[in-house]
Amino acid sequence: MKSLLAVLGAAVLLAGCAGGPRIDTRYSSVGHDSRVQFIVVHYTSSDFARSLSILSGGDVSSHYLIDQAPPTIYRLVDENRRAWHAGESEWRGRTWLNATSIGIELVNAGYQDSPGGRIWQPYPDEQIDQLIVLLKDIMARHGLKSGAVIGHSDIAPQRKVDPGPAFPWKRLADAGLIPWPAPEQQALWQQHFALAAPDIFWWQQALARFGYRVPQHGELDEATRNVIAAFQMRYRPARHDGEPDIETAAILAALDEQAAPR
């Protein structure tokens, strides 16, 4: 009899293990937020068929892919899972952002080199319309604030240039998704810097406050130029040569002033 009871007891324990632990969910904490802190925008550098093949069948992935014609949104990875789109990256002190971000790939050829320089493919308005709808939905569900949307070139400025200077960041600003410098503040700062241009250490500090990983040694090296170029692709795409000119400085100072606590 004891042997039978032992067998039955063991069977009950095994059944419990097979079904997982019994968890009481009557209580919950208010101290939490979403694991998602950022949304990273990319271009695919290829057409839809090749983009889909790469993003769905290999070591590179993204949560969403948005085609051009028709501008269809495809979900490739559940938002609760980590997609492999960011690689070695950093923004606002957080590193390896795959774990804390949602990746969105836009079907876009990127650029072609020509004797006259790089020619960047534009983004169709309809594709950006769909992107904005998706961004607003993601930000609302995850409780993200303006500024959570960033480009691949922002988080990896030493090795990436997407979504490139043809990407319409101003449209995202008009939709309330990213900060944008107030024209009057920018004009005042430009007048100020026309009298005394900031030194390189100022640039490095201001860019770091904005979110970039940038050297802090006061020298205009290649790494610093790459970060300035990434910033320019967002806010002054007509010229993104990485040169620390006073117009770019005024844009950065105006944004820095707007972000300062009051």
Just list the catalytic residues: 105
| Residue indicated by tokens 């810097």 | 193
**CB neighbours of 157 closer than 8 A, spacing ≥ 6?**
212, 213, 226, 227, 229, 230
Q: Which two tokens stand for residue 201?
A: 């250490």
User: Is the link from the previous residue into 70 a cis peptide, with omega within 30 of 0?
Assistant: yes
Q: Are 212 and 256 in contact (CB under 8 A)?
A: no
Provide, for the chain, the percentages of residues in helix, strand and coil under a 3-state DSSP scheme, each rounded to the nearest 5: 40, 15, 45
Helix axes 222-235, 200-210, angle to 10 degrees: 60
